[in-house]
Structure 1
Amino acid sequence: MELIFPTVIIILGCIAFLLLLQWKNLRGPPCIRGWIPWIGAGFEFGKAPLEFIEKARIKYGPIFTVFAMGTRMTFVTEEEGINVFLKSKEVNFELAVQNPVYRTASIPKNIFFALHEKLYIMMKGKLGTFNLCQFAGQLTEELHEQLENLGTHGTIDLNNLVRHLLYPVSVNILFKKGLFPTNKRKIMEFHQYFQVYDEGFEHGSQMPECLLRNWSKSKRWLLAFFEKNIPDIKTYKSEKDNSMTLMQDLLNVIETETNEESPNYGLLLLWASLSNAVPIAFWTLGFVLSHPNIHRTIMEGISSVFGTAGEVTSYLQTL
């Protein structure tokens, strides 16, 4: 009798705990927990994240929670739900992104919280309307240079073409002219690591790196790339107008506030500049090329402003 009583208490306690979890779930979205404590659905989720999410959406609806590796991740998969979330007064952007920023760029939460407002104000001014003309000129010049390097013959996948153009352009404008590698092997290496990092960013922002081996390797490579080049970025001076790059201004703010250099913010800036630009450019070009009448109208508009291809080349060389 003495042994049975403690056992009954333990069983009743477990039942009460399970009932409590079920009651809490009734107040929130369905939760996929798996059957292993702490790990939860981590193995299934990590094996094929996108497939796992799609199956969960079909089974549980547009909003659901996944418990994996001690972390609860709630997915909102419909536009209406996302709008409700983003407009909620309960949402605090700085607090919400501290964990993702730490996971994806290894920026400590206290550093990010202390610098966020100052960096936001600096970048808003640097990329404001007054400076857009300067950036547009630099962008045009860099794109023209990259297009010339491609030559006039040959074929390439459109997605690869967009990446081939925008990667060096963004790096050379935002960080320093000539920072992007020119060696073919190193170019391919940069493409490989950034593409893996970019495509796995959403998962890397939520999941432990131990479940994302290739993504983690790419993150470390990119951080090492910026750490190696920070001294050159700091001392770089534009040959044309001696203006500072966005990364130089960003480093000045960081060093003033923390007395430290931060290649981590270089990685964050690189991802922010390319993560949306690449797919937008790809789909825009794809749409234009698949509609001959739209393509013809655009070319006529360009010619009416800049003239023929030869005249465009002459104009760009004067910028």
Structure 2
Amino acid sequence: MTKYKLEYIWLDGYKPTPNLRGKTQIKEFDHFPTLEDLPLWGFDGSSTQQAEGHSSDCILKPVAVYPDPARKNGVLVMSEVLLPDGTPHPTNARATILDDEGAWFGFEQEYFFYKDGRPLGFPEHGYPAPQGPYYTGVGFKNVGDIAREIVEEHLELCLEAGINHEGINAEVAKGQWEFQVFGKGSKKAADEVWIARYLLLRLTEKYGVDIEFHCKPLGDTDWNGSGMHCNFSTEYMRTVGGKAYFEALMAAFGKNWKEHIDVYGPDNDKRLTGKHETAPWNKFSYGVADRGASIRVPHSFVKNDYKGYLEDRRPNSQGDPYAIASRVLKTIAEVDTKAVAAA
């Protein structure tokens, strides 16, 4: 029998964006534990904005399991939060989202490294040289001395944990980076984004560096904000598609623009201003290879008879991938494929 370190990870009740929480339980198994092997566990919800002190018990229900590469015999246990009666907690967004294994999601998570209250690499006062050389940049003057070390280590941790991590790059602003995660099914894709975020936050503890997920941390300045562009497709989009269906889909996205913005992360009005290759938060648009549109349509999508994937550029870096994926699927579900085909 081996003693495993089970790190139960969940989302707390803070608003407008939840924080990741985690605590460790030690249990013996004669094999790497499966989801079915893992017990429910509890925590004090009064310390996480999820319960009152007079009735503080909350329950953790394991929903996904990954090896923890940073620990010997470590296990990462993504968990949902339940009420004492076993029903989903009001903060448990995962329990009620639409899910479809035929729906594929790719999230592009942008973020800033922060140290001493400013982006990593910024001078103590003022700003560094303007944007331009930092995106996909190399060399000390562009990326500094520890940022690449962190992102490379984070990449290895994700791959060893079984996260479907698809790439990294330095982003447009100094101290800003991005990683990409792809998953089949909204819950699977979103679980892996949250675990990747957790691994990044835990990793940077030893470097004395913080991660800033706010979508516009530098305020109203000539510096890019951070997004979490959502690339999505369904089986119908990949195999049937068609221009008529695409136009009906865009009409549905346009009609529901506010419902999307409402769950695409807080403070998007500060990021989606029409500047820095963003569409205004309150206007919907789409365009082929247009980085300034709400939805960017890849050239490959059009060339392939309007089949493939689309990129919603409005979700921001603070967004909850559970809510984002679910909202996308809700809008897609409004389009009657039979009616489109008949027309």
Q: Tell me which interval the TM-score lies in, with the shorter structure as reference length.
A: under 0.3
Q: Which structure is higher in helix share?
A: 1
TM-score computed with the length of structure 1 as normaliser? 0.25
- Which of the two has higher C-alpha Rg? 1
